[in-house]
Amino acid sequence: MAAAGAPDGMEEPGMDTEAETVATEAPARPLNCVEAEAAAGAAAAAAEDSCAARGNLQPAPAQPPGDPAAQASVSNGEDAGGGAGRELVDLKIIWNKTKHDVKFPLDSTGSELKQKIHSITGLPPAMQKVMYKGLVPEDKTLREIKVTSGAKIMVVGSTINDVLAVNTPKDAAQQDAKAEENKKEPLCRQKQHRKVLDKGKPEDVMPSVKGAQERLPTVPLSGMYNKSGGKVRLTFKLEQDQLWIGTKERTEKLPMGSIKNVVSEPIEGHEDYHMMAFQLGPTEASYYWVYWVPTQYVDAIKDTVLGKWQYF
Protein backbone atom coordinates (compact mmCIF):
# COMPACT_ATOMS: atom_id res chain seq x y z
CA MET A 1 0.00 0.00 0.00
CA ALA A 2 1.32 3.28 -0.96
CA ALA A 3 2.32 5.62 1.75
CA ALA A 4 0.23 8.66 2.22
CA GLY A 5 1.86 11.72 0.80
CA ALA A 6 1.43 14.58 -1.57
CA PRO A 7 -0.51 14.00 -4.72
CA ASP A 8 1.47 13.25 -7.80
CA GLY A 9 2.85 16.32 -9.46
CA MET A 10 2.72 18.39 -6.31
CA GLU A 11 5.71 19.28 -4.16
CA GLU A 12 5.58 18.99 -0.49
CA PRO A 13 6.00 22.14 1.53
CA GLY A 14 9.63 22.81 2.49
CA MET A 15 11.14 21.06 -0.44
CA ASP A 16 12.72 24.27 -1.89
CA THR A 17 14.17 25.28 1.44
CA GLU A 18 15.60 21.93 1.98
CA ALA A 19 17.08 21.90 -1.50
CA GLU A 20 18.66 25.32 -0.94
CA THR A 21 20.09 24.15 2.35
CA VAL A 22 21.54 21.10 0.74
CA ALA A 23 22.98 23.24 -2.03
CA THR A 24 24.48 25.73 0.41
CA GLU A 25 25.97 23.13 2.60
CA ALA A 26 27.35 21.19 -0.33
CA PRO A 27 31.13 21.55 -0.53
CA ALA A 28 32.41 23.94 -3.23
CA ARG A 29 34.10 22.27 -6.10
CA PRO A 30 37.75 23.19 -6.69
CA LEU A 31 38.37 26.08 -9.17
CA ASN A 32 40.57 25.61 -12.14
CA CYS A 33 43.51 28.05 -12.83
CA VAL A 34 41.55 30.45 -15.06
CA GLU A 35 38.70 30.72 -12.63
CA ALA A 36 41.07 31.31 -9.68
CA GLU A 37 42.91 34.14 -11.46
CA ALA A 38 39.64 35.85 -12.42
CA ALA A 39 38.39 35.62 -8.88
CA ALA A 40 41.58 37.16 -7.47
CA GLY A 41 41.40 40.10 -9.91
CA ALA A 42 37.82 40.78 -8.99
CA ALA A 43 38.66 40.78 -5.30
CA ALA A 44 41.54 43.25 -5.81
CA ALA A 45 39.34 45.60 -7.83
CA ALA A 46 36.66 45.48 -5.19
CA ALA A 47 39.20 46.28 -2.49
CA GLU A 48 40.58 49.26 -4.46
CA ASP A 49 37.10 50.65 -5.06
CA SER A 50 36.37 50.36 -1.37
CA CYS A 51 39.56 52.19 -0.33
CA ALA A 52 39.10 54.92 -2.91
CA ALA A 53 35.61 55.46 -1.60
CA ARG A 54 37.03 56.03 1.85
CA GLY A 55 39.64 58.51 0.46
CA ASN A 56 42.61 56.37 1.47
CA LEU A 57 44.09 56.34 -2.02
CA GLN A 58 43.88 60.12 -2.77
CA PRO A 59 47.40 61.52 -3.42
CA ALA A 60 48.60 64.43 -1.17
CA PRO A 61 48.55 67.80 -2.98
CA ALA A 62 52.02 68.95 -4.13
CA GLN A 63 53.45 72.10 -2.55
CA PRO A 64 53.16 75.04 -4.96
CA PRO A 65 56.39 76.75 -6.02
CA GLY A 66 57.42 79.41 -3.56
CA ASP A 67 55.42 77.92 -0.72
CA PRO A 68 57.02 78.99 2.60
CA ALA A 69 56.73 75.55 4.09
CA ALA A 70 58.58 74.02 1.15
CA GLN A 71 61.29 76.67 1.25
CA ALA A 72 61.71 76.35 5.00
CA SER A 73 62.67 72.73 4.51
CA VAL A 74 65.62 73.74 2.27
CA SER A 75 68.71 75.20 3.91
CA ASN A 76 72.40 75.27 3.07
CA GLY A 77 73.44 76.11 6.59
CA GLU A 78 74.48 79.72 5.75
CA ASP A 79 72.80 82.92 6.85
CA ALA A 80 74.20 85.59 4.56
CA GLY A 81 71.58 88.31 4.61
CA GLY A 82 68.59 86.06 3.94
CA GLY A 83 70.59 83.76 1.66
CA ALA A 84 69.05 80.47 2.86
CA GLY A 85 68.43 78.26 -0.13
CA ARG A 86 70.18 80.71 -2.50
CA GLU A 87 73.38 80.23 -4.44
CA LEU A 88 76.32 81.78 -2.58
CA VAL A 89 79.70 83.06 -3.74
CA ASP A 90 82.88 83.55 -1.74
CA LEU A 91 83.94 87.22 -1.76
CA LYS A 92 87.03 89.01 -0.46
CA ILE A 93 85.92 92.47 0.65
CA ILE A 94 88.92 94.79 0.96
CA TRP A 95 88.58 98.08 2.84
CA ASN A 96 91.20 100.19 4.59
CA LYS A 97 93.90 97.55 3.87
CA THR A 98 91.82 94.89 5.67
CA LYS A 99 90.36 91.77 3.98
CA HIS A 100 87.04 90.24 5.00
CA ASP A 101 86.02 86.79 3.68
CA VAL A 102 82.25 86.71 3.12
CA LYS A 103 79.73 84.30 1.61
CA PHE A 104 77.00 86.25 -0.15
CA PRO A 105 73.96 85.36 -2.34
CA LEU A 106 74.78 85.63 -6.03
CA ASP A 107 71.33 87.05 -6.81
CA SER A 108 71.60 89.90 -4.27
CA THR A 109 71.89 93.48 -5.56
CA GLY A 110 74.70 95.96 -5.15
CA SER A 111 72.53 97.84 -2.64
CA GLU A 112 72.22 94.70 -0.50
CA LEU A 113 75.96 94.18 -0.74
CA LYS A 114 76.49 97.69 0.64
CA GLN A 115 74.30 96.81 3.61
CA LYS A 116 76.43 93.72 4.23
CA ILE A 117 79.62 95.83 4.04
CA HIS A 118 78.08 98.25 6.53
CA SER A 119 77.47 95.41 8.98
CA ILE A 120 81.11 94.33 8.66
CA THR A 121 82.98 97.64 8.59
CA GLY A 122 80.59 100.21 10.03
CA LEU A 123 80.96 102.21 6.82
CA PRO A 124 77.56 103.80 5.93
CA PRO A 125 76.24 102.74 2.49
CA ALA A 126 75.97 106.37 1.37
CA MET A 127 79.71 106.81 1.97
CA GLN A 128 80.79 103.63 0.17
CA LYS A 129 82.29 103.25 -3.28
CA VAL A 130 82.12 99.54 -4.08
CA MET A 131 84.17 98.40 -7.07
CA TYR A 132 84.41 95.20 -9.06
CA LYS A 133 85.70 95.82 -12.58
CA GLY A 134 84.30 99.31 -12.15
CA LEU A 135 81.69 100.80 -9.83
CA VAL A 136 79.13 98.19 -8.70
CA PRO A 137 75.58 99.34 -9.67
CA GLU A 138 73.14 99.31 -6.76
CA ASP A 139 70.24 98.01 -8.87
CA LYS A 140 72.00 95.05 -10.49
CA THR A 141 72.67 91.64 -9.00
CA LEU A 142 76.10 90.13 -8.56
CA ARG A 143 75.14 87.52 -11.13
CA GLU A 144 74.28 90.21 -13.68
CA ILE A 145 77.69 91.87 -13.34
CA LYS A 146 79.34 88.43 -13.55
CA VAL A 147 80.83 88.24 -10.07
CA THR A 148 82.55 84.88 -9.59
CA SER A 149 83.51 82.98 -6.46
CA GLY A 150 86.76 84.29 -4.97
CA ALA A 151 86.24 87.77 -6.46
CA LYS A 152 87.90 90.77 -4.78
CA ILE A 153 85.50 93.59 -3.94
CA MET A 154 87.28 96.90 -3.31
CA VAL A 155 85.60 99.39 -0.98
CA VAL A 156 86.56 103.06 -0.66
CA GLY A 157 85.10 105.40 1.93
CA SER A 158 85.46 106.92 5.38
CA THR A 159 83.40 106.37 8.49
CA ILE A 160 81.62 109.29 10.15
CA ASN A 161 84.23 109.29 12.92
CA ASP A 162 87.01 109.58 10.33
CA VAL A 163 85.26 112.54 8.71
CA LEU A 164 84.76 114.29 12.04
CA ALA A 165 88.40 113.71 12.96
CA VAL A 166 89.70 115.60 9.93
CA ASN A 167 87.34 118.56 10.34
CA THR A 168 89.72 120.66 12.43
CA PRO A 169 88.65 124.12 13.60
CA LYS A 170 89.11 126.95 11.13
CA ASP A 171 91.75 128.70 13.20
CA ALA A 172 93.81 125.54 13.48
CA ALA A 173 93.54 124.99 9.73
CA GLN A 174 94.71 128.53 9.07
CA GLN A 175 97.64 128.06 11.42
CA ASP A 176 98.58 124.86 9.64
CA ALA A 177 98.40 126.63 6.28
CA LYS A 178 100.59 129.44 7.58
CA ALA A 179 103.11 126.99 8.98
CA GLU A 180 103.17 125.17 5.66
CA GLU A 181 103.73 128.45 3.85
CA ASN A 182 106.65 129.23 6.14
CA LYS A 183 108.25 125.94 5.16
CA LYS A 184 108.22 126.89 1.49
CA GLU A 185 111.40 127.86 -0.25
CA PRO A 186 112.07 131.61 0.00
CA LEU A 187 111.03 133.55 -3.08
CA CYS A 188 114.54 134.78 -3.73
CA ARG A 189 115.72 131.16 -4.15
CA GLN A 190 113.12 130.25 -6.71
CA LYS A 191 114.37 129.85 -10.24
CA GLN A 192 112.11 132.49 -11.79
CA HIS A 193 113.48 135.17 -9.44
CA ARG A 194 117.01 133.84 -9.23
CA LYS A 195 117.75 134.71 -12.85
CA VAL A 196 117.09 138.41 -12.09
CA LEU A 197 118.77 138.54 -8.69
CA ASP A 198 121.88 136.82 -10.02
CA LYS A 199 122.55 139.96 -12.08
CA GLY A 200 123.45 141.61 -8.78
CA LYS A 201 122.42 144.90 -7.27
CA PRO A 202 121.97 147.67 -9.86
CA GLU A 203 124.63 150.35 -9.75
CA ASP A 204 122.11 153.20 -9.79
CA VAL A 205 119.72 151.74 -7.21
CA MET A 206 118.59 154.14 -4.49
CA PRO A 207 120.39 153.76 -1.16
CA SER A 208 118.70 151.82 1.63
CA VAL A 209 118.44 152.43 5.35
CA LYS A 210 118.21 149.10 7.17
CA GLY A 211 115.79 148.97 10.12
CA ALA A 212 114.13 152.30 9.24
CA GLN A 213 110.66 153.19 7.96
CA GLU A 214 110.21 156.35 5.91
CA ARG A 215 107.47 158.05 3.97
CA LEU A 216 107.55 157.87 0.23
CA PRO A 217 109.97 160.31 -1.35
CA THR A 218 108.67 163.11 -3.55
CA VAL A 219 110.66 161.72 -6.49
CA PRO A 220 110.11 158.37 -8.26
CA LEU A 221 111.77 155.25 -6.88
CA SER A 222 114.24 154.29 -9.57
CA GLY A 223 117.21 152.05 -10.40
CA MET A 224 115.23 148.77 -9.82
CA TYR A 225 114.68 145.73 -12.08
CA ASN A 226 111.46 144.13 -13.29
CA LYS A 227 110.93 140.42 -13.99
CA SER A 228 112.52 140.58 -17.43
CA GLY A 229 115.62 142.24 -15.98
CA GLY A 230 114.84 145.66 -17.42
CA LYS A 231 115.06 148.89 -15.44
CA VAL A 232 111.85 150.09 -13.80
CA ARG A 233 110.75 153.10 -11.74
CA LEU A 234 107.71 153.61 -9.48
CA THR A 235 105.92 156.96 -9.31
CA PHE A 236 103.12 157.51 -6.79
CA LYS A 237 100.62 160.08 -8.08
CA LEU A 238 98.73 160.63 -4.85
CA GLU A 239 96.58 163.48 -6.18
CA GLN A 240 95.33 161.14 -8.95
CA ASP A 241 95.31 158.03 -6.73
CA GLN A 242 97.48 156.24 -9.30
CA LEU A 243 100.68 154.20 -9.42
CA TRP A 244 102.80 154.72 -12.50
CA ILE A 245 105.10 151.83 -13.45
CA GLY A 246 107.60 153.11 -15.96
CA THR A 247 110.06 151.22 -18.17
CA LYS A 248 112.19 152.27 -21.10
CA GLU A 249 109.43 151.22 -23.47
CA ARG A 250 106.29 152.61 -21.77
CA THR A 251 104.55 153.76 -18.58
CA GLU A 252 101.56 151.91 -17.08
CA LYS A 253 99.18 154.16 -15.12
CA LEU A 254 97.28 151.98 -12.61
CA PRO A 255 94.47 153.18 -10.30
CA MET A 256 95.38 152.31 -6.72
CA GLY A 257 92.00 150.60 -6.29
CA SER A 258 92.74 148.14 -9.11
CA ILE A 259 95.73 146.65 -7.26
CA LYS A 260 94.47 143.63 -5.27
CA ASN A 261 97.47 143.09 -3.01
CA VAL A 262 101.13 143.91 -2.40
CA VAL A 263 103.63 141.30 -1.18
CA SER A 264 107.33 141.56 -0.41
CA GLU A 265 110.27 139.58 0.92
CA PRO A 266 113.85 140.53 1.88
CA ILE A 267 116.59 139.46 -0.52
CA GLU A 268 118.92 136.96 1.14
CA GLY A 269 122.35 138.46 1.73
CA HIS A 270 120.94 141.93 1.03
CA GLU A 271 118.21 142.23 3.65
CA ASP A 272 118.20 146.03 3.31
CA TYR A 273 116.49 145.53 -0.08
CA HIS A 274 113.27 143.69 -0.91
CA MET A 275 111.65 142.07 -3.88
CA MET A 276 108.05 143.25 -4.20
CA ALA A 277 104.98 142.26 -6.27
CA PHE A 278 101.80 144.17 -7.15
CA GLN A 279 98.79 141.91 -7.81
CA LEU A 280 97.03 143.36 -10.85
CA GLY A 281 94.48 140.53 -11.35
CA PRO A 282 92.69 137.73 -9.48
CA THR A 283 95.57 135.22 -9.36
CA GLU A 284 99.29 135.11 -8.64
CA ALA A 285 99.93 134.94 -12.36
CA SER A 286 99.06 138.65 -12.49
CA TYR A 287 101.88 139.69 -10.10
CA TYR A 288 104.13 142.45 -11.39
CA TRP A 289 107.55 141.92 -9.76
CA VAL A 290 110.02 144.65 -8.84
CA TYR A 291 113.47 143.86 -7.41
CA TRP A 292 115.83 145.86 -5.17
CA VAL A 293 113.26 148.06 -3.43
CA PRO A 294 114.90 149.96 -0.52
CA THR A 295 113.61 148.45 2.73
CA GLN A 296 112.76 151.80 4.37
CA TYR A 297 110.01 152.39 1.78
CA VAL A 298 108.38 148.93 1.80
CA ASP A 299 105.71 149.62 4.44
CA ALA A 300 104.92 153.06 3.00
CA ILE A 301 104.38 151.53 -0.46
CA LYS A 302 102.01 148.87 0.93
CA ASP A 303 100.01 151.36 2.99
CA THR A 304 99.76 153.87 0.15
CA VAL A 305 98.61 151.38 -2.48
CA LEU A 306 96.17 149.63 -0.12
CA GLY A 307 94.79 152.93 1.25
CA LYS A 308 96.21 152.86 4.79
CA TRP A 309 98.80 155.61 4.73
CA GLN A 310 97.66 159.04 5.84
CA TYR A 311 99.39 162.21 4.71
CA PHE A 312 99.08 165.49 6.57
For position 244, which CATH number holds?
A: 2.30.29.30
- Give the number of domains in the chain: 2
| Closest CA relative to residue 224, chosen from 187, 251, 199, 242 | 199
With a cut of 50, say whether residue 311 has pLDDT above it.
no
Residue 19 belongs to a domain: no
196 and 279, same domain (yes or no): yes
Range of lowest pLDDT (180-184, 186-190, 201-205, 246-250): 180-184
Residue 152 belongs to a domain: yes
Task: Kindly give, in sequence order, each residue whose CB lies less than 8 Å from that of residue 235, ignoring residues fewer than 6 positions away.
Answer: 220, 221, 243, 244, 246
The pLDDT of residue 241: 87
Q: Distance between CA 310 and CA 312 in Å, rounded?
A: 7
Average pLDDT over residues 260-269: 91
Residue 266, classified by CB atoms within 10 Å of its CB into exposed (0-12), middle (13-18) or buried (19+), is middle
Average model confidence (pLDDT) for the chain?
75
142 and 222, same domain (yes or no): no
- Length of the chain in terms of residues written: 312
Residue 144 belongs to a domain: yes
Q: For residue 77, what pLDDT band results from cuts at 50, 70 and 90?
A: very low
Average pLDDT over residues 15-26: 44
Residue 38 belongs to a domain: no
Task: Note the helical H segments in 55-144.
Answer: 68-72, 110-121
Q: For residue 257, what pLDDT band results from cuts at 50, 70 and 90?
A: confident
The pLDDT of residue 80: 43
Range of lowest pLDDT (14-28, 29-43, 144-158): 14-28
Range of lowest pLDDT (80-84, 152-156, 303-307): 80-84
Whole-angstrom CA distances from 196 to 193, 226, 228, 278 are 6, 8, 7, 17
Residue-number span of the structural domain to which 97 is assigned: 88-162
With a cut of 50, say whether residue 177 has pLDDT above it.
yes
Q: Which residue has the higher pLDDT, 61 or 286?
A: 286
300 and 226, same domain (yes or no): yes
The pLDDT of residue 307: 73
Q: What percent of the chain has pLDDT over 90?
A: 38
With a cut of 70, say whether residue 38 has pLDDT above it.
no
Q: For residue 182, what pLDDT band results from cuts at 50, 70 and 90?
A: low
Residue 74 belongs to a domain: no
Q: Distance between CA 266 and CA 293 in Å, rounded?
A: 9
Instruction: Give me the sheet containing 98-105, strands edge to edge.
Output: 98-105, 88-95, 151-156, 129-131
Residue 274 belongs to a domain: yes
Q: Which residue has the higher pLDDT, 165 or 151?
A: 151
Average pLDDT over residues 12-32: 47
137 and 207, same domain (yes or no): no
pTM score > 0.95 for this model?
no
Q: Distance between CA 306 and CA 297 in Å, rounded?
A: 14
With a cut of 60, say whether residue 68 has pLDDT above it.
no
Write the pLDDT tens digit of every residue in 237-256. Answer: 888 889 999 999 999 999 98
Residue 287 belongs to a domain: yes
136 and 216, same domain (yes or no): no
Which CATH number is 110's domain given? 3.10.20.90
